[in-house]
């Protein structure tokens, strides 16, 4: 029985055992009952463990019950697909391929029967077709004719590698990693917006920065603005209206606004999302009503064209948001608590609701129209001024389970589970993200179209795309909603890599994989082979994980490197260990763990100083006066030394962080906490955007980086 279960788990890609990414690499064995539930959560009914063999046999027979897979993801130099055909029809087979323009190609091909099976009185051949005609990277439709019937499938012909800008072959670039909401400017309303992003791009152009890394910009909860995590959106296909610069919207007039309201909002220590968002929405509602009064205006016609081009996805978003607003204060549990007839987006009840609330539905589309229009202006400016890479966008690994993506197609996601991560060096207790995750089998049934749409949306106006937790292309740690521990679910790694490479090629957008955490052996080599760059941080670039820091010349080349990330303490905060104390005060660490981490941090300081000394990166005019390895002081010249150290690395792109430059001593985000414990995603930068160009620390850092990257 155990052997049957093990074989079933292997067939379905469910891990019985795994190792975490903590320093001791502990191995975990998942109990049978949890594994049985995982089989069911993937959509394969298994009532009893004893039935594992029966289910396995059923799955093995499944492939013989249809002619073509929904999609075949192949490389251009090795195009083949497998078909199941009745033996008596094998001699009548014809093959054609249709390209994206509808042109029919009759390719040269060869075929070979690789397996034969008798089912229900008929003999079937499993036949491999190898296409010999050259096809450029693109999506095609296979049209296979057998026995007078046509069978179709998608053929994704992928390049060997993702798009790689040729400039990276000639020089090392640099830029900034920013949180857009944190940009502080004299003109914004208390949160960074698209105009701030455009102005920041101008600053980058003037100071030599070629990359602007931004947090995910996806739409969040309209009715609960304080749910501010950019990694827990309600749709990865659309933008967050919070980033609209209302004063740049067509029709805005000064008398719509009370400047005292903005001054009050901006005087608060942290971002008050509710006040900022509600103020913007109140004025945008007035501008929308003015727009729809004149349906013959050019602006209204542009809006209508946007609505049509947005199609079903935009419609679903707007309807979902409208229903959500109607019920969010009446029922508990998000859309799962709605009346049954409203849980299906294709129901008659939803259609009726949409008609009855047409104006509000259209308003939500209007928000997306204005956000898309302003974001497009940012992209247009960046292309015009010639930043070598430009926007480096961020694609979250999952999304909020109470989201329009899950409502629109709930069967596409793994049931009653959420994505997370086992323990690692940075997060010793692991992380329960509670994010919706694609079901790998439903995803392939849909020819990966939902994944493709998400990639295309994230690549809009981008020269590079960061895939959050890129290991999810291969496997994802899934935790049942009613448990704290889970196991890994595996995806079709080759298919996922191929789709990423193809979309990267089609959009001239390079891809960077965030690979901090539990990285499988050989994984980095595999993604590099497909042209996916890695992401690295200073704190991870140590020999054997805990030894000396790697010197700049020892850093990996094809990576985007930085000192830390939004989930890690900024440079000065980390030096003093304030993050350790924060976690201890929140009871996230025991007294023993706290002491252990302080000792580890002392060793880290000692080794970092040694690496900086050896590399000779300390500024001549700001020599340090002591080691301060016990955190009793911040070394003089520390910022300059670390920035020079990182900028001199052989990594092709270095991303500086404004929090490091300005000596910020608070975390932007502390994983494992909500806003009741820590003000995540709410910290503004201490220096105004308009003042950056004359700020001493900013200017000296820019000079150091430019000189070091030559």
Indicate whether 90 belongs to any domain.
Answer: yes
- Kindly state whether residues 124 and 57 are assigned to the same domain: no
**Torsion-angle region of residue 545: left (phi > 0), alpha (psi -120 to 50) or beta?**
left
Whether 254 shows a pLDDT value over 80: the answer reads yes
Per-residue pLDDT, 80: 96
Per-residue pLDDT of 278-317, as tens digits, reads 999 999 999 999 999 999 999 999 999 999 999 999 999 9
Find the helix or strand (DSSP H, E) in which 193 lies: none
Whether 1 shows a pLDDT value over 60: the answer reads no
Residue 434's pLDDT band (cuts 50, 70, 90): confident
Per-residue pLDDT, 431: 82
The stretch 662-688 carries a mean pLDDT of 94
Binning the chain into helix, strand and coil, the percentages to the nearest 5 are 45, 20, 35
- Kindly state whether residues 88 and 154 are assigned to the same domain: yes
Indicate whether 139 belongs to any domain.
Answer: yes
Residue 16's pLDDT band (cuts 50, 70, 90): very high
Per-residue pLDDT, 483: 87
Per-residue pLDDT, 430: 78
Indicate whether 88 belongs to any domain.
Answer: yes
Distance CA 300, CA 308 (A): 13
Q: Which of 119, 141, 158 is the last residue of a domain?
A: 158
Whether 23 shows a pLDDT value over 70: the answer reads no
Distance CA 30, CA 33 (A): 8
Per-residue pLDDT of 512-536, as tens digits, reads 999 988 889 999 999 999 999 999 9
- Kindly state whether residues 32 and 96 are assigned to the same domain: no
DSSP string, 645-688: HHHTSS-SEEEEEHHHHTT--S-S--TT--TTTS-TT-PPPSS-
Structural domain range at position 98:
77-158
The stretch 431-436 carries a mean pLDDT of 88
Whether 24 shows a pLDDT value over 90: the answer reads no
Per-residue pLDDT, 21: 76
Helix ranges (DSSP H) in 50-193: 52-62
Residue 37 three-state SS? helix
Indicate whether 613 belongs to any domain.
Answer: no
- Kindly state whether residues 54 and 83 are assigned to the same domain: no
Per-residue pLDDT of 408-417, as tens digits, reads 999 999 999 9
Distance CA 470, CA 154 (A): 25
Per-residue pLDDT, 25: 76
- Kindly state whether residues 57 and 94 are assigned to the same domain: no
- Kindly state whether residues 31 and 102 are assigned to the same domain: no
Whether 75 shows a pLDDT value over 60: the answer reads yes
Indicate whether 94 belongs to any domain.
Answer: yes
Per-residue pLDDT of 366-387, as tens digits, reads 999 999 999 999 999 999 999 9
Q: What is the mean pLDDT of the chain?
A: 95
Distance CA 428, CA 434 (A): 18
Q: From the CB of residue 602, how many other CB atoms can be counted at a distance below 10 Å?
A: 14
Indicate whether 126 belongs to any domain.
Answer: yes
% of the chain exceeding 70 in pLDDT? 99
Q: Which of 139, 158, 177 is the last residue of a domain?
A: 158
Looking at the DSSP assignment, which residues form a beta bridge with residue 413?
438
Per-residue pLDDT of 122-151, as tens digits, reads 999 999 999 999 999 999 999 999 988 999
- Kindly state whether residues 42 and 14 are assigned to the same domain: yes
- Kindly state whether residues 56 and 125 are assigned to the same domain: no
Q: CA angle at residue 329 from 327 to 332, to 5 degrees?
A: 80
Per-residue pLDDT, 261: 93
- Kindly state whether residues 58 and 81 are assigned to the same domain: no
Distance CA 196, CA 185 (A): 7
Indicate whether 100 belongs to any domain.
Answer: yes
Whether 671 shows a pLDDT value over 90: the answer reads no
- Kindly state whether residues 87 and 140 are assigned to the same domain: yes
**N-terminal to C-terminal alpha carbon distance within the chain:** 63
Tell me if 473 sits within 8 A of 491, measured CB to CB.
yes
Per-residue pLDDT, 425: 66
Per-residue pLDDT of 611-634, as tens digits, reads 999 999 999 999 899 999 998 999
Indicate whether 128 belongs to any domain.
Answer: yes
- Kindly state whether residues 57 and 91 are assigned to the same domain: no
The stretch 105-111 carries a mean pLDDT of 96
Per-residue pLDDT, 337: 95
Whether 426 shows a pLDDT value over 70: the answer reads no
The stretch 98-121 carries a mean pLDDT of 94
What CATH number does residue 146 fall under?
2.60.40.10
Distance CA 419, CA 271 (A): 28
- Kindly state whether residues 86 and 119 are assigned to the same domain: yes
Q: Which of 158, 188, 203 is the last residue of a domain?
A: 158
pTM of the predicted structure, to 2 decimals: 0.95
The stretch 152-174 carries a mean pLDDT of 96
Q: Could you give the number of structural domains in the chain?
A: 2
């Amino acid at each position: 029985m155990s052997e049957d279960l093990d074989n079933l788990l292997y067939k379905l890609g469910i891990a019985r055992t795994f190792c975490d990414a903590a320093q001791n690499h502990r191995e975990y064995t998942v109990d049978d009952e949890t594994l049985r539930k995982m089989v069911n959560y993937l959509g394969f009914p298994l009532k009893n463990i004893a039935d594992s063999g029966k289910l396995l046999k059923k799955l093995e027979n499944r492939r013989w019950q249809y002619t073509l897979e929904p999609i075949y993801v192949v490389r251009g130099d090795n195009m083949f697909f497998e078909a199941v055909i009745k033996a008596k029809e094998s001699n009548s087979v014809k093959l054609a391929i249709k390209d994206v323009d509808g042109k029919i190609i009759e390719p040269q091909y060869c075929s070979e029967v690789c397996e034969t099976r008798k089912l229900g009185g008929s003999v079937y051949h499993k036949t491999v077709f190898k296409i010999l005609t050259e096809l450029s990277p693109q999506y095609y439709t296979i049209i296979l004719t057998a026995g007078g019937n046509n069978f179709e499938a998608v053929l994704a012909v992928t390049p060997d590698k993702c798009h790689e800008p040729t400039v990276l072959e000639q020089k090392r670039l640099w830029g900034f990693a920013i949180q857009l909401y944190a940009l502080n400017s004299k003109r914004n309303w208390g949160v960074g917006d698209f105009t701030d992003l455009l102005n920041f791009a101008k600053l980058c152009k003037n100071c030599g920065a070629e990359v602007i890394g931004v947090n995910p910009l996806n739409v969040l909860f309209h009715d609960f603005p304080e749910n501010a995590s950019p990694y827990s959106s309600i749709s990865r296909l659309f933008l967050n209206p919070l980033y609209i610069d209302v004063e740049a919207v067509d029709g805005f007039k000064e008398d719509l606004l009370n400047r005292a309201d903005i001054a009050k909002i901006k005087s608060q220590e942290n971002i008050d999302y509710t006040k900022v968002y509600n103020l913007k929405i109140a004025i945008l509602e007035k501008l929308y009503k003015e727009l729809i009064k004149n349906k013959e205006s050019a602006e209204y016609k542009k809006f209508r064209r946007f609505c049509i081009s947005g199609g079903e996805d935009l419609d679903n978003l707007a309807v979902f948001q409208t229903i959500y607003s109607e019920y969010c204060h009446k029922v508990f549990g998000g859309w799962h608590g709605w009346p049954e007839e409203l849980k299906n987006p294709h129901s008659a009840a939803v259609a009726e609701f949409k008609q009855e609330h047409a104006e509000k539905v259209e308003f939500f589309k209007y928000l997306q129209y204005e956000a898309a229009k302003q974001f497009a202006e940012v992209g247009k400016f960046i292309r015009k001024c010639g930043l070598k890479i430009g926007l480096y966008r961020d694609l979250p690994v999952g999304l909020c389970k109470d989201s329009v993506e899950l409502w629109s197609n709930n069967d596409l996601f793994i049931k009653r589970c959420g994505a997370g991560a086992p323990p690692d060096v940075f997060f010793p207790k692991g992380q329960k993200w509670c994010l919706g995750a694609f079901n790998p089998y439903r995803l392939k049934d849909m020819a990966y179209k939902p994944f493709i749409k998400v990639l295309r949306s994230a690549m809009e106006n981008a020269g590079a795309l960061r895939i959050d937790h890129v290991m999810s292309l291969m496997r994802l740690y899934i935790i049942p909603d009613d448990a704290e521990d889970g196991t890994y679910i595996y995806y079709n790694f080759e298919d996922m890599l191929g789709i990423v490479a193809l979309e990267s090629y089609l959009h001239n957008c390079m891809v960077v994989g965030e690979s901090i955490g539990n990285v499988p052996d050989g994984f980095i080599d595999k993604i590099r082979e497909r042209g996916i760059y890695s992401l690295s941080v200073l704190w991870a670039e140590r020999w054997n994980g805990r030894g000396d820091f790697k010197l700049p010349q020892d850093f990996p080349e094809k990576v985007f490197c930085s000192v830390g990330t939004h989930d890690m303490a900024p440079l000065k905060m980390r030096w003093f260990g304030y993050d350790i104390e924060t976690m201890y005060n929140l009871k996230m660490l025991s007294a023993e763990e706290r002491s252990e981490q302080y000792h580890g941090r002392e060793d880290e300081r000692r080794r970092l100083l040694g690496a900086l000394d050896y590399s000779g990166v300390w500024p001549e005019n700001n020599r340090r006066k002591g080691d301060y390895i016990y955190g009793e002081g911040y070394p003089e010249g520390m910022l300059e030394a670390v920035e020079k150290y990182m900028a001199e690395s052989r990594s092709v792109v270095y991303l500086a962080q404004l929090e490091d430059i300005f000596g910020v001593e608070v975390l932007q985000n502390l994983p494992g906490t909500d806003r009741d414990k820590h003000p995540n995603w709410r910290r503004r930068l201490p220096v105004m955007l308009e003042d950056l160009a004359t700020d001493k620390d900013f200017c000296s850092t820019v000079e150091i980086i430019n000189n070091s990257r030559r």
